[in-house]
Amino acid sequence: MSFDFTKVIPLEGERADHYVARLTEGVLSRAQVRRVLAEGLLRRGGRRLANGDKLHADDAARFEDRGLSALLEAGQAGPVATPGLPLDIVWEDEALVAVNKPAGMAVQPLRPDETGTVVNGLLARFPEMRDIGGEPLCPAVVHRIDIETSGLVLAARTGVAYRALRNEFRRFQVRKFYLAAVEGHAEAGRCDTPLTHATHVPCRMRLARPDEIAGRGERGQKRVFAASTAWRPLKYVEERDQSLLEVEIRTGVTHQIRCHLAAAGHPLLGDPVYGRAKDGTGGGQALHSWKAMLAHPTTGELLTLEAPPPQAFPLG
C-alpha cells in the first residue's frame, strides 16, 4: 500500500522536506518529517528522496506506507500526558509556565507514544495546553533547547499568550542568557556570522561563507540563518584552561551557541559535535539556559525568569 500524493503538485524547485511538511501540516512534527525522508518513505522513480532534493511541478512522488499510515494516525492523536513526571516549575501563572529542564530530558516527544519529555509532563498538569499552537507533538511550547542542554523552557497556557510569546521571539525581543563552560581562556567577544547546515554531517551547523551570505534567497541557494551571539567571561580556571561564560543571544538558530563558540576557538566542554566528548569534567554538554527577559504575554510587564544551573555544572 502507498499514499499517492501526485494530485498535490510540488512547487517548482521545492525541497523534499518542505513538500512533506506542507502535505502533512498540523500532523507531523519537523523531526517526523526528517524521519519520513531518512527512512525512504518518499520516493521518486523508485529512488528515495533526501531533505534537500529539489522537486519539480511534473514530479510523481509517492509515499510508501511501511509504517507511515500509523505515524500519521498517531500524529493526529498527539502526545500523551504523563502524570507524576517530575518537573521543576520556576514560574507559573494563568498565561505562562517556565520549566527548568534537566539535561538529558527532551522538550518534546518525536513519536506520539513517547513519554518522559517536558511536553508529556506539562500536559498532565495543564491539559488546556494540548490545543495551543500549531505543532501536534509540541503544543504550547514557544521555544526549544537541545536535549543535552539544561535550563529554561517556556510554554503558554492560552492561545492569546502563545501568539504573543511567539511574536516576541520572532521579533528578537526576548533576551536569552546562557551559562557555558568552554575550553581555553576566553575573553569577551561576539560572533554575528550567519549559519547554514553542514552538507555532509547530519545535525551539524557551520559558519556560512561570504558567497552563501551574498546569495541568500536565490533559487537553489543553501539556506542561511542570521545569528548573533555575545559572551563575557565569569571565571577562568587556569589549571584546567577552562572558562565559564555568560552568553546572550536573541536569535535562536539550531546549535547557534555551540557553533559560534567553537568557531571562536572555545568549544563547549563535553560537546561531541563541535568539541570533545571527553574533557575531564565527567559531565555532558556544558550549556545551561539560565535567564530570559521578556514582556509578560498578557500584562506587558517586564519579566526576568531564571533557572538555577545544576549543582554539577562545570566551573559553577
Known catalytic residues are: 146
DSSP string, 212-240: HHHTTTSTTPPPEE---EEEEEEEEETTT
N- to C-terminal Cα separation, the chain: 56
Task: Tell me the Cα Rg of the chain.
Answer: 21
Cβ-contact 61, 19 below 8 angstroms: yes
Phi and psi at residue 226, to the nearest 5°: -65, 135
Cα–Cα distance measured from residue 304 to residue 316, given in angstroms and rounded to the nearest whole number: 21
Cα–Cα distance measured from residue 139 to residue 136, given in angstroms and rounded to the nearest whole number: 6
Q: Which one, of 61, 105, 63, lies nearest residue 82 by Cα? A: 105
